Amino acid sequence: DSGVTQTPKHLITATGQRVTLRCSPRSGDLSVYWYQQSLDQGLQFLIHYYNGEERAKGNILERFSAQQFPDLHSELNLSSLELGDSALYFCASSVASGQRSTDTQYFGPGTRLTVL
Amino acid sequence: QKEVEQDPGPLSVPEGAIVSLNCTYSNSAFQYFMWYRQYSRKGPELLMYTYSSGNKEDGRFTAQVDKSSKYISLFIRDSQPSDSATYLCAIQGAQKLVFGQGTRLTINP
């Protein structure tokens, strides 16, 4: 158990809908990262928050947004869902800002999103 | 061209075999290299990380980096069925980790 929690574990929804995925980092970790994992694209970095502020963006679609709250938990909002958004969404956390290699990222168990 | 290339496999070997997993990368500015292991239906977990060219050993696992060739490897000695998982290489870029596709490995008893 990494100490990172994600809810829900599974989510099934329809195209055009909006969902919110939630992540609680390990105690003491200030950074939260979101990743999308699909069979054809592998594990893709979406976005990074550090202590409430956005630090880096990856291949995140405009239909997706995220935020990190004062209690350091984070939410990833996915809207106008398409079939191709079906994937595993992982959250990871680390102690510091993520610029150093020793900022090990600890991954949560993921949320499996299925868009029908 | 992808920043990190990894053969997705699948790779199936008998128990006790030596396993070699490899990745190539394109950006010579990358300096930190990691291997993650991901069991089915779980999140990735950090297995090893290295900085410089050369070898780093941790039990049955050896990570190797050749910066001149932009090539990284993970060797597993005396492989066990419990090593069956997907192995992902990851490279620390600017503000983000860039992952390889992952290689699915099965160790057959």
- Residue A84's SS3 state is helix
Rounded distance, CA B62 to CA B77, Å?
8
Q: What's residue A52's pLDDT?
A: 95
Q: What are phi and psi of A56, to 5 degrees?
A: -155, 145
| Alpha carbon A18 to chain centroid, angstroms | 15
- A56 touches B at CB < 8 Å: yes
Q: What's residue A40's pLDDT?
A: 77
- Low-confidence residues of chain B: pLDDT under 70: none
- A90 touches B at CB < 8 Å: yes
Degrees, nearest 5: CA angle A101-A98-A63: 130
Q: What's residue B65's pLDDT?
A: 93
When scoring A37, A89, A91, A105 by the number of chain B Cβ atoms within 10 A, the one with the most, hence best to mutate, is A105
What Cα–Cα distance (Å) separates residue A96 from each residue in A31, B39, B52, B103? 6, 26, 22, 29
Closest CA in chain A for residue B94:
A99
Q: What's residue B31's pLDDT?
A: 80
Amino acid code (one letter) for B77: R
Rounded distance, CA A107 to CA A53, Å?
20
Rounded distance, CA B89 to CA B46, Å?
10
- Of the candidates A91, A75, A71, A80, which has an alpha carbon nearest to the alpha carbon of residue A115? A80
Q: Which A residues in the span 60-89 are in contact with B, Cβ-Cβ below 8 Å?
A: none
Rounded distance, CA B76 to CA B18, Å?
6
Closest CA in chain B for residue A46:
B96
Q: What's residue A8's pLDDT?
A: 97
Closest CA in chain B for residue A103:
B92
- Could you count the other beta carbons within 10 Å of the beta carbon of residue A16? 10
- Residue A99's SS3 state is coil
Smallest Cβ–Cβ distance between B96 and the set A42, A48, A90 belongs to A48
Smallest Cβ–Cβ distance between A42 and the set B32, B51, B100 belongs to B100
When scoring B95, B98, B99 by the number of chain A Cβ atoms within 10 A, the one with the most, hence best to mutate, is B95
* Cis peptide bond prior to B14, omega within 30° of 0: no
- Low-confidence residues of chain A: pLDDT under 70: 98-102
List the structure tokens of B94. 């600017």
Rounded distance, CA B35 to CA A22, Å?
26
